[in-house]
Structure 1
Amino acid sequence: MLYDLNIDWSKATSTAELERTLRFSSQLGYNVVALNHTLDAPLPSQISNPIPQFPPPSSSKATSQTENQQQRIPTVLRRLTVNFSDPSQNQQLPKAAQAYDIVALRPQTEKAFQAACLTVSATDVSLISLDLTARLPFHLRPKPCMAAVARGLRFEVAYGRALAPEADARARASFAGNVVQLVRATRGRGLVLSSEAAGPMALRGPADVVNLLAVWGLPADRGMEALGTNPRGVVVNEGIKRSGFRGVVDIVGVAERSEEEEKAKVAKQKEIVEVRDNRKRKNGGGETAEKGGESGSGVGGGEGGGENAPMSKRQAKKLKAALRKKEVEEKGT
């Protein structure tokens, strides 16, 4: 499966244009896409998700394969990207994580970038998105980048702005330099390739994206991981965080037992009860009763609970001691 976790969305985007973009992404081979809504920090106390919801793609076999390719819409997720400059502006990230499927951070300063890599909770944020077409106010050093990858965060490389017709030569040069710097800092690990497309003309096929990034040092196998394995890990982890127990165990319904299993269970319980009853009967009669009578007439007779009462360990010890004493007396005489 192929993923594009950044398709630009705003309240001014029309429904027809959005559906056209989604259908074109499906024709290019993308199975899961995310509509991205960008906000500036600090976030409001009440966070609502304005991105429209789309039903999951239908799997009916009545329509032909060509009609499905032309009309189907991929699985659509809803994402929030937060622009922030101060780490103290991130108090509302847990609420944002509840309202959106994916939450990404876009740091604007070096202090914010260090916080995003080292201190921001990985349970609330899954992506670090950078505007690679602009000159970054900080350097992409290996130590914080690899620390973020080790914590489970992923760096997003969005190519849409660099390929847009309005992009100038300086923006494209900045994009190339920043991509080379990011690939060196992360060694090609923990990257997610996305389009950040505002329309269908900014989308590119997976092979074109891999070849484009290979020019700037990203190997082809790492490029395919950035389109499939890495974004899939982001989507699955975010789903488990929201539907599972403490982000570790996914809670699912327990399957009901069949009638045969229920009958076998009842029969097993009856068998266990019968075995227990037989043991109680054996302990209550026979040799135990005789020993209980002897103990009642001997040293521990005062502690017996009745003729058929089972002998306790204390009574057995006293009985053995009395028998030994009796044997010693007989030998002495």
Structure 2
Amino acid sequence: MFYDLNVPWSDNSRELQRTIAFLDELGYDTVALAHTLTGRLPADLLIWPPQTPPIPSPLPFPTSRRLRILRRCNISLTDAATNHRIPQLQKHYDIVAARPTDEKTLAQACTNLDVDLISLDLTQRFEKHFKFPMLGAAITRGVKIELCYSQALLSSDPNAKRNLIGNATQLIRVSRGRGLVFSSEAKSVLGIRAPSDVINLASVWGLGHERGKDGLTKEPRAVVEFARLKRTSFKGVVDVIYGGEKAVEEKETGKKATNAQKRKAASMESTPVSLSEQEKPASKRQQKRNKKAQEESEKEKADE
């Protein structure tokens, strides 16, 4: 199964419908529609979502039944002191992703924030190089690093393309190819590529073919399942599945079978059995033996 976990939500339903239909045609199985929150998080998250949610359910246009649609929230991290309401968003979105804007917020997202994904704007030039201890802390916690490729395809700024390629190769080298997720972040059909093209692009950036395929299948699936467990299970560790109804049905079926056997045994004991039913007919071999013994006895009597 191929995943694209970053398709920006747009009020232009026609263009968004074309994008989702083209992703389905290219062979993607799961698509996440992303809504972005900038600045300070709203104080009314406890009564969120409002009457008109950003991403309605169901969508205002038809989609393929085969395609799985998820809802994602992108949080632009500008101040490390205003991110304490992030866990409340997990109740309303399938995926919560953080987009750091500087070195301080990146370090906070990798070490402390309870998010599912870290998405970086690779078109900008970072002041410092990425370091493995910081990214390794996020990967150890189960938080993946997202690389979006459509910015290199649709941007008309050569510096943005140069920065994206340089940051992507540096991320692949520093992370040692682990915990990377490839998404499109495509706002139109022109920014989407088939899974095989994305794998080849990752190979050009220095990632192997197998790791590139994992960035579209295994790693994003881990993000989705880990986020689901955090919402439905106890502290993201224990998931209780109720199966009592099936056990009760099996127990009742066993009781019915036992009662039927008891009734059958009681009826057999109460019914008298005739002698003819008790005596079983002799087999053909036994009949031959009896006949031979009878002839021998008659022959002995004739000799006497």
TM-score (norm 1): 0.70
2:299 — aligned with what? none
Structure 1 partner of 2:117:
127
Change (3 A) 1:259 1:142: closer
Gaps of 5+ in 2: 259-304
Range that drifts further, 235-244 or 154-163: 235-244
Q: How many aligned residue pairs are there?
A: 249
Question: Shift in Å at residue 265 of structure 1?
Answer: 5.8
Q: Confirm or deny that 1:97 pairs with 2:95.
A: no
What CA distance in whole angstroms lies between the structure 2 residues aligned with 1:145 and 1:131?
15
> Of residues 213, 236, 239 in structure 1, which corresponds to 2:225?
236
Quickly say closer, same or farther: Cα 1:262–1:128, change in 2 above 3 A: same
Aligned to 1:251: 240
Which fold has the larger relative contact order, with Cα–Cα distance below 8 Å and residues 6 or more apart in sequence? 2
Q: Which SS does the other structure have where 1:133 is aligned?
A: coil
Q: Secondary structure of the residue that 1:149 maps to in structure 2?
A: helix
* Runs of 4 or more consecutive aligned structure 1 residues displaced over 6 Å after TM superposition: none
Q: C-alpha offsets along residues 63-116 of structure 1, whole Å, 9 cap, x if unaligned?
A: xxxxxxx95561110101111122211111011111111001111111111111
Contact 1:180 1:217 in 2 (8 A): yes
Deviation at 1:44, TM superposition (A): 0.3
Given that residues 108 and 137 in structure 1 are in contact (C-alpha distance below 8 angstroms), is that contact kept between their aligned partners in structure 2?
Answer: no
Kept in 1, the 8 Å contact 2:79–2:105? The answer is yes
Per-residue deviation, 1:262: 2.2
Q: Is the 8 A contact 2:119 2:147 kept in 1?
A: yes
Letter of the 1:195 counterpart:
S
**For residue 186 of structure 1, what is the amino acid of its counterpart?**
S
- Is residue 87 of structure 2 the alignment partner of residue 115 of structure 1? no
Which letter does structure 2 place at the counterpart of 1:187? Answer: R
Determine the C-alpha separation between the residues in 1 that align with 2:111 and 2:164: 24
Q: Secondary structure at the match of 2:55?
A: coil
Any residues of structure 2 matched to 1:253-272 within 5 Å, and which?
253-254=242-243, 255-257=245-247, 261-262=251-252, 264=254
Deviations 1:185-218 (A, max 9, x none): 1001000000000011211000101111211101
Counterpart amino acid of 1:149? I
Going from structure 1 to structure 2, the CA distance change for 1:118 and 1:17 (only over 3 Å counts) comes to same
Partners of 2:250 and 2:206 in 1: CA distance:
61
> Is the 1:83–1:105 contact (alpha carbons within 8 Å) kept by the matching residues of 2?
yes
What's the secondary structure of 1:131's corresponding residue? coil
Classify 1:71/1:103 alpha carbon distance in 2 versus 1 (closer, same or farther; 3 Å): closer
- From 202, 206, 209, the equivalent of 1:217 is 206
1:76 aligns with 2:66: no
- Give the partner amino acid of 1:239: R
TM-score normalised over the length of structure 2: 0.76
Check whether the contact 2:24–2:64 (CA below 8 A) recurs between aligned residues.
Answer: no
Aligned partner of 2:194 in structure 1 is: 205
- Structure 1 225/175 Cα, relative in aligned 2: closer, same or farther at 3 Å? same
Residue matched to 2:6: 6
Amino acid at match of 1:82: I
SS in 2 for 1:98: coil
The CA RMSD measured in Å over matched residues stands at: 2.2
Task: Identify the residue that residue 19 of structure 2 maps to in structure 1.
Answer: 21
8 Å Cα contact 1:104/1:128 also seen in 2? yes
Whether 1:50 aligns to 2:50 is: no
Partners in 1 of 2:67 and 2:159 — Cα distance? 34
The alignment partner of 1:87 has SS state of: coil
In the TM superposition, residue 150 of structure 1 has moved relative to its aligned partner by 0.8
1:85 aligns to 2:74 (yes or no)? no
Cα offset for 1:256? 2.5
What's the CA shift for 1:16?
Answer: 2.0
Secondary structure, in 3 states, of the residue corresponding to 2:91?
Answer: helix
Cross-structure match for 2:99: 106
The 3-state SS of whatever aligns with 1:89 is coil
Give % identity.
Answer: 43
Judged with a 3 Å threshold, the aligned counterparts in structure 2 of structure 1 residues 160 and 73 are, in CA distance, closer, same or farther, namely farther
Note the 1:30-49 alignment, pairs <5 A: 30-47=28-45, 48=49, 49=53
Cα distance change of structure 1 residues 120 and 201 upon mapping to structure 2, 3 Å threshold = same
